[in-house]
Homo-oligomer: A and B are copies of this chain.
Amino acid sequence: MAKISFLWVGKTKEPWIKNGIEIYLKKIKHFVKIDVHTLKDTKRDGRSREASIVDAIPRDSFCVILDERGRSFNSEAFSKFISQRLTQPPNHIVFLLGGPYGLSPATKDKGDFILSLSPMTFTHEMARVILLEQVYRALTIEKGLPYHH
């Protein structure tokens, strides 16, 4: 069964963003199976931190890592990208977002695709809710459902 996993480093601290994340997770659940993994963020000991991030990427999944220097899509193209990935084996997309200290180049190399939401740098917490809104939008576009702004 098709599935989307969200893997993020560090808890969401801003209450308003937490709220937005909950709203969009609920909406997305109507369309597809999802799960969310929040990894511990540790400032020190970079190597073990990164190893635990890489270990958390589910095997047999298509891993999309978010980075402003990645490839960008408009919302229609992003919808096609998601629906193709959900209908092709392994039918499992993982979105990995770094924490305040980002991700190492070695970790970024583990991704199957680097996605940019914008050339602008967003806070890592805001990037979560922006991504969720885009995934929700992508699923409504794919189903031909009305969804306005």
Contact = CB atoms under 8 A, between A and B. Distances in A.
Given A74-B68, A100-B148, A133 B123 contact: yes
A95 B23 CA distance: 28
A126 interface: yes
B78 A120 contact: yes
A106 to B, nearest CB: 20
As for how many copies of this chain the complex holds, the number is 2
A133 B126 contact: yes
A59 interface: no
Interface of A: 14-17, 19-20, 23, 68, 72-75, 78, 99-100, 102, 117-126, 129-130, 133-134, 137, 148-149
A117 B130 CA distance: 12
A138 to B, nearest CB: 10
A28 to B, nearest CB: 15
Contacts of A126: 129-130, 133
A122 B135 CA distance: 11
Contacts of A14: 20, 23
